[in-house]
Amino acid sequence: MDNILAIETSTDTCSVSIGNCQEAFSYHENIPKQHTAKLLSVINNLLEESNLSYEDLSALAVGIGPGSYTGVRLSCAVAQGIAFSQQLKGITLPSIELLSLQAHEETSSNVVVAISELNMGKVYISKSIFSKGNMKSNYSLIPQEAFKREAFPEESCFVGEGCSSFDIANQLPGAHPRATYLLKFALKKLDQGDLIEPDEILPIYLNDESSWQKIK
């Protein structure tokens, strides 16, 4: 049975999940500035809890940001290290898109707008539309003052740390990207054979618009 290790550390929350289509073992805790010290021990503890080893993994899944500079670098570096050492391939998903996926599953909203934390006066916005089990997302990096609520459908569900910077109704409060949802996404991608090489597991930074454009 295919097992995947999913890692998401783009926010103050450290989220890790290991499992397959039948069961998963997960860790999700708000530990600001402790990711570097704790991530490997969290992974090893979950492997022990699940009676798995690194040799039992079929792929790695990573939330690649944008988000905390240290957090996204850490998750990608750890995933790359494991992937190279175990000759595994990877599956990546922008963390802001992962938030949209979570919000859709938790609210059944078919239009989800995820907004990153305000950084240097700008926010990343992901508008995701869900139809027949598929997700299609568009991204933009805009100044805070350029955000217009009326630019999005009335039924939109809003999620993400950046929502607090705006007067928005219909928010999903307190949401952080969770590795459990990343694991579910990755298992589908693994079935489809949609994987990348370890050296392609790369972070997206909050102010790196050129890298963000590449994933559109």
User: Does domain 96-172 correspond to CATH entry 3.40.50.1980?
Assistant: no
pLDDT digits over 5-23, tens only? 999 999 999 999 999 999 9
| Closest of 152, 95, 156, 155 to residue 124, by C-alpha | 95
Query: How confident is the prediction for the chain on average, in pLDDT?
Result: 92
More reliable by pLDDT, 65 or 174: 65
Any idea of the CA torsion for 75, 163, 148, 216, to the nearest 10 degrees?
20
Share above pLDDT 90 across residues of the chain, in percent, rounded to a whole number: 77
Mean pLDDT, to the nearest integer, of 173-200?
Answer: 94
Q: How confident is the model at residue 216, as a pLDDT?
A: 40
pTM of the model: 0.91
Mean pLDDT, to the nearest integer, of 27-52?
Answer: 96
Q: What residues pair up with 115 in beta bridges, in sequence order?
A: 125
3-95+176-214 to CATH, choices 3.40.50.2000, 3.10.150.10, 3.30.420.40, 3.40.190.10: 3.30.420.40
Q: How confident is the model at residue 208, as a pLDDT?
A: 56
Q: How confident is the model at residue 89, as a pLDDT?
A: 98
Q: How confident is the model at residue 215, as a pLDDT?
A: 42
Mean pLDDT, to the nearest integer, of 125-149?
Answer: 92
pLDDT digits over 85-127, tens only? 999 999 999 999 999 999 999 999 999 999 988 888 888 899 9
- Residue ranges, comma separated, of all CATH 3.30.420.40 domains in the chain are 3-95+176-214, 96-172
Q: How confident is the model at residue 207, as a pLDDT?
A: 63
Q: How confident is the model at residue 164, as a pLDDT?
A: 87
CA angle 73, 32, 168 (to 5 degrees): 90
